[in-house]
Amino acid sequence: MTSPQFEIRPSMIKGDPADAYLHWTKEVMRLESLNPVVTMDFYASNDGVLCGVEEVKALLKSVLPQNDSESSVETLENDVQVWTLREGESFVAGEPLLRVIARYAAFSLYETSICGILASCIGWATAARQCVRAAGDTTVIGYGARHIHPNVAHILDYASVVGGCSSASTLMGSRQAGRNPLGNMPHSLPLIFGDTVSAAQAFDKHISMEVQRIVLVDTFKDEIEEAMNVAQVMRDRLRGVRIDTPKERGGVTPMMVKEMRAKLDYMNFRHVEIYVSGGLNPNRISEFRENSSPVNGYLVGSYISGASPNDVTADILEIEGRPVAKRGRLPGKLDGPRLDRII
């Protein structure tokens, strides 16, 4: 995956998303002329897949002291350090994921945002990794954007790819992850055309060949019959078909996919791939795999987008190099042999 570029909004740099008590604390310390170098460790409550550190890195690079007339290189070297695990690494609960060593006022307003970025992204990436593991060597595509607020849909797609999805459904999210979006067509296209084959032909006529031709085949007729109809018209231009049979009609089943594969092969459409979607989760994906169902790709939406955040805690564990901790915590930096310095 290419290095992602994250836009840090002015409101975040201003500290608007911060808990109010962090603003009050910073003001008290300013008036009392207190601004020590602290070591703050961030860790999660549950095992998971790390995601969000690249966005956190972009935020911290925007706000931590830079080399200017007030800060020498030597001062920065001694005062500002950021250490993390790598994006996409698995971790265990309580393991340090991020360590910031800097003067407290330089980053105090961003504790809330950092915890939130990591918690949400870890939840999504971990859910994606569970689906990818269940799928084995079969492609998994993130399709959860329609289940969450659009302001964070691209972050969800990025986290899905970090978790192992090959791509995602939205333009912005796939671009964020350095991938091409993979999709097909919504039910609205054949519904408006009144016929799946006509809709597929129009799509093929007008959309760039850079976009793969994957046709939805469950709108009007039997899924297998419709797949055959589309394949006979589009032939080599058809990459695949997607089955999204709703639960009201029993959903997509392993046997349905097996039968479709057999009939496509019999008619010499062996190149046509079969994608399935609709309420998929690791258990349902495992069902297809255990039944040797020849699925070429799983489109997973709500299982990833609906994943609970993995709560992230931030603790000051050193002040000016002296181990400290609140009650219930052990003083001193957490053991973090896998941390790499990024700033």
Assigned token pair, 73:
């290189």
Rounded to an integer, the average pLDDT of 94-113 is 97
CA 123 to chain centre: 9
Cβ atoms of residues 212 and 240 within 8 Å? yes
For strand 139-142 and strand 297-300, is the pairing parallel, antiparallel, or unpaired?
parallel
What average pLDDT does the chain have?
A: 94
Alpha-carbon separation of residue 47 from 58, 95, 245, 293 (angstroms):
24, 9, 34, 31
Helix (H) or strand (E) holding 312: strand 312-319
- Structural domains of the chain, ranges and CATH numbers in brackets: 10-121+309-341 (3.20.140.10), 136-305 (3.20.20.70)
Alpha-carbon separation of residue 245 from 75, 187, 250, 296 (angstroms):
62, 11, 7, 16
Alpha carbons 246 and 24: distance in angstroms, whole number: 52
Please report which confidence band the pLDDT of residue 2 belongs to, taking 50, 70 and 90 as the band edges: low
pLDDT in tens, 331-342: 999 999 999 999
pLDDT in tens, 278-319: 999 999 999 999 999 999 999 999 999 999 999 999 999 999
Comparing 69 with 172, which gets the higher pLDDT?
172
Nearby residues of 199 by Cβ (< 8 Å), 6 or more positions away: 185, 189, 190, 192, 193, 215
Cβ atoms of residues 122 and 52 within 8 Å? yes
Range with lowest mean pLDDT among 3-17, 123-137, 227-241, 307-321: 3-17
CA angle, 47 then 53 then 54, to 5°? 145
Position 74 pLDDT exceeds 80 = no
Cβ atoms of residues 312 and 43 within 8 Å? yes
For the chain, the first-to-last Cα distance in angstroms comes to 21
pLDDT for residue 184: 80
For strand 297-300 and strand 273-277, is the pairing parallel, antiparallel, or unpaired?
parallel
Name the pTM for this structure.
0.93
Place of tokens 């001694």: 78
Alpha carbons 1 and 88: distance in angstroms, whole number: 11
Rounded to an integer, the average pLDDT of 37-49 is 98
Residue type, 49: V
Query: Hey, which bits of 165-294 come out as E strands?
Result: 167-168, 214-216, 240-243, 273-277
CA angle, 80 then 52 then 325, to 5°? 50
pLDDT for residue 185: 86
Beta bridge partners, 323, equal 318
